[in-house]
């Protein structure tokens, strides 16, 4: 029960983070379309780091 | 002509995907009796799928209890090498005998027992029996071997085709742009023009190996290799050791004596930076493992919807809903299969790049 609540909190946190990253990247791309490639690469790296954090928390919550 | 070829590829792609979902739904027998019917049984089935197994079961007939598939060799080290076929376990139902020793399969793990196969369980259900060292060719090992053979075959034919001319033939035409992509978009921007060549071998191998294994997980054969934590640990260990051994003096300088900050901060930062050496590859292994496990879990849960919703909506409607949901999540999983291979390679290149980067003196 408690780890389900924890999992929900993790997903909320991860969702806010991913939303921030995605939204800012979209803004950046619309301002400077010629920098799309660079922004995308940086966005994916940050998203992957965030995802690692969230998954780490989820797996710790399982144990 | 190009458009036709493209639409052909797309159509065959859809067909393969569709059939994989259909096959997967076949392997979930519906009905009464001792077939999979309740949420607990579905949970058990999904858990069983996510684990490694000592035999290759394609389909189990729930009514007669027969398993369709083939056994795999079991290789144990227990005061000597013991090799026998996993058919002797009869899917964990009987005790296997090898050179006077008795072994039993319990929750996909092999325990040494007496002739009756008694397990010494504690109150939480964990056996205390002795566990022999297990080097068996399990389902995941078989998957890795198949992936390795596929990669060697594909890349050898590509390498050979360069001896005939600068343009590759056949399947190599698909592989060449991917290799160029890994080089120009992953290795060079992160490691640098001068030094990337040395690490291309590892990066290409990691990329294609993970990608092929992820795609094999999408087939109805039921491989879940990159969802085994042992596999991802080994992959991340490679990145860890390559990063540490190629680190130059700037890299070690940044860990043990960070330049440009007060002395007290330098001392405070040492444990943080040392911890960072380990957390970077740790995040790599957790990410790949958790993504693939979660992906398999979601696909199988959506397929299982047809069993849980059968009572409310009838067989046809629930199968339709489960098919469409599983189909579209499978499309996303195809993207994830590529993305995870890309991210693993990308972050490995980033870590290696940090270790080999030249810094101008401050």
Please indicate, yes or no, whether residues B122 and B184 belong to a single structural domain of this protein: no
Domain tally, chain B: 2
Residues in chain B: 362
User: What confidence category does residue B9 fall into, taking pLDDT thresholds of 50, 70 and 90?
Assistant: low
Instruction: Note the ipTM here.
Output: 0.75
User: What per-residue confidence (pLDDT) applies to B22?
Assistant: 46
Cβ–Cβ under 8 Å, residues B222 and B296: no
Please indicate, yes or no, whether residues B82 and B197 belong to a single structural domain of this protein: no
Task: Measure Cα distances from B196 to B140, B180, B192, B356 in Å.
Answer: 31, 13, 6, 10
Containing B356, the helix (H) or strand (E) segment is helix B310-356
Please indicate, yes or no, whether residues B184 and B99 belong to a single structural domain of this protein: no
Higher pLDDT, B361 or B290: B290
Cβ–Cβ under 8 Å, residues B24 and B296: no
Whether B19 is covered by a domain: the verdict is no
Please indicate, yes or no, whether residues B77 and B145 belong to a single structural domain of this protein: no
Please indicate, yes or no, whether residues B160 and B202 belong to a single structural domain of this protein: yes
Whether B63 is covered by a domain: the verdict is no
| pLDDT(B11) > 70 | no
Please indicate, yes or no, whether residues B130 and B158 belong to a single structural domain of this protein: no
Please indicate, yes or no, whether residues B106 and B250 belong to a single structural domain of this protein: no
User: What per-residue confidence (pLDDT) applies to B24?
Assistant: 46
**pLDDT tens digits for B82-119?**
888 888 777 777 777 777 778 877 777 788 877 777 77
A53 shares contact with chain B (CB less than 8 Å): yes
Please indicate, yes or no, whether residues B227 and B270 belong to a single structural domain of this protein: yes
Q: Which residues of B touch A (CB under 8 A)?
A: 185, 189, 282-284, 286-287, 290-291, 294, 339, 342-343, 346-347, 350
Note the Cα B223 to chain centre separation in Å: 8
Whether B218 is covered by a domain: the verdict is yes
How high does pLDDT run on average in chain B? 82
A36 shares contact with chain B (CB less than 8 Å): no
Within 10 angstroms of residue B71's Cβ, the number of other Cβ atoms is 18
Q: How far apart are CA B252 and CA B258, in angstroms?
A: 9
User: What per-residue confidence (pLDDT) applies to B17?
Assistant: 54
Q: Which of B185, B283, B350 sits opposite A56 (nearest CB)?
A: B283
Please indicate, yes or no, whether residues B121 and B198 belong to a single structural domain of this protein: no
Please indicate, yes or no, whether residues B188 and B80 belong to a single structural domain of this protein: no
Whether B346 is covered by a domain: the verdict is yes
Chain A positions touching B287 (Cβ under 8 A) are: 48, 51-52, 55
Residue with tokens 């398993």: B67
User: Angle CA(B171)–CA(B177)–CA(B182) in degrees, nearest 5?
Assistant: 125
**pLDDT tens digits for B300-318?**
888 888 888 888 888 888 8
Domains annotated on chain A, with CATH:
2-62 (1.20.20.10)
Cβ–Cβ under 8 Å, residues B127 and B106: yes
B324's tokens:
């469409």
Q: For residues B188-215, give the mean pLDDT.
A: 92
Q: Helix B249-256 crosses helix B263-308 at what angle (to 10 degrees)?
A: 100
Please indicate, yes or no, whether residues B317 and B190 belong to a single structural domain of this protein: yes
Per-residue pLDDT of chain A (63 residues; tens, 9 = 90+): 788 888 889 999 999 999 999 999 999 999 999 999 889 888 988 888 888 788 878 777 765
Whether B168 is covered by a domain: the verdict is yes
Please name the residue of chain B whose CA is at the shortest distance from the CA of residue A58. Answer: B290
Going by their DSSP bridges, the two strands B109-113 and B101-106 should be labelled as antiparallel
Q: Which of B91, B106, B136 finishes a domain?
A: B136
A51 shares contact with chain B (CB less than 8 Å): yes
Cβ–Cβ under 8 Å, residues B198 and B340: no
Whether B217 is covered by a domain: the verdict is yes
Note the Cα A13 to chain centre separation in Å: 9
Whether B33 is covered by a domain: the verdict is no
Cβ–Cβ under 8 Å, residues B139 and B115: no
Domain with B108 in it: 73-136
Please indicate, yes or no, whether residues B95 and B184 belong to a single structural domain of this protein: no
Q: Which residues contact B87 (CB under 8 A, 6 or more apart)?
A: B55, B71
> The pTM is what?
0.82
């Amino acid at each position: 029960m408690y780890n389900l609540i924890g999992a929900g909190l993790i997903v909320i946190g991860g969702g806010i983070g991913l939303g921030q990253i995605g939204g800012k990247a979209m803004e950046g791309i619309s301002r400077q379309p010629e920098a799309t490639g660079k922004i995308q690469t940086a966005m994916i790296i940050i998203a992957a780091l965030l995802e690692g954090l969230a998954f780490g928390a989820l797996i710790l919550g399982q144990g | 002509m190009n458009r036709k070829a493209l639409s052909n590829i797309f159509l065959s792609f859809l067909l393969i995907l569709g059939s994989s979902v259909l096959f997967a739904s076949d392997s979930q027998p519906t009905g009464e009796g001792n077939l999979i019917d309740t949420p607990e049984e579905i949970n058990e089935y999904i858990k069983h799928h996510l684990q490694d197994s000592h035999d290759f079961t394609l389909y189990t007939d729930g009514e007669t209890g027969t398993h369709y598939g083939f056994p795999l060799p079991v290789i144990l080290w227990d005061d000597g090498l013991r090799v026998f076929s996993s058919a002797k376990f009869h899917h964990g139902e009987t005790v296997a005998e090898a050179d006077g020793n008795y072994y039993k399969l319990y929750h996909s793990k092999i325990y040494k027992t007496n002739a009756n196969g008694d397990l010494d369980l504690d109150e939480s259900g964990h056996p205390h029996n002795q566990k022999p060292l297990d080097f068996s060719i399990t389902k995941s090992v078989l998957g890795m071997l198949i992936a390795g053979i596929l990669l060697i075959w594909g890349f050898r034919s590509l390498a050979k085709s360069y001896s005939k001319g600068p343009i590759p033939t056949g399947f190599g035409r698909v592989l060449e742009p991917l290799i160029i992509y890994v080089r120009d978009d992953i290795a060079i921007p992160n490691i640098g023009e001068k030094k990337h060549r040395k690490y291309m071998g590892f990066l290409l191998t990691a990329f294609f190996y993970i990608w092929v294994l992820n795609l094999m997980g999408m087939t109805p054969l039921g491989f879940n290799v990159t969802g085994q934590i042992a596999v991802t640990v080994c992959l991340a260990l490679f990145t860890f050791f390559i990063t540490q051994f190629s680190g130059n003096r700037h890299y070690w300088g940044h860990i043990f004596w960070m330049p440009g900050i007060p002395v007290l901060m330098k001392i405070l930062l040492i444990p943080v930076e040392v911890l960072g050496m380990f957390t970077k590859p740790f995040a790599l292994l957790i990410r790949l493992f958790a993504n693939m496990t979660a992906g398999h879990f979601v696909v199988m849960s959506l397929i299982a919807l047809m069993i849980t919703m059968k009572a409310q909506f009838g067989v046809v409607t629930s199968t339709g809903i489960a098919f469409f949901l599983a189909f579209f999540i499978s499309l996303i999983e195809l993207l994830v299969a590529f993305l995870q291979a890309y991210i693993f390679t990308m972050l490995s290149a980033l870590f290696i790049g940090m270790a080999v980067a030249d810094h101008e003196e401050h």
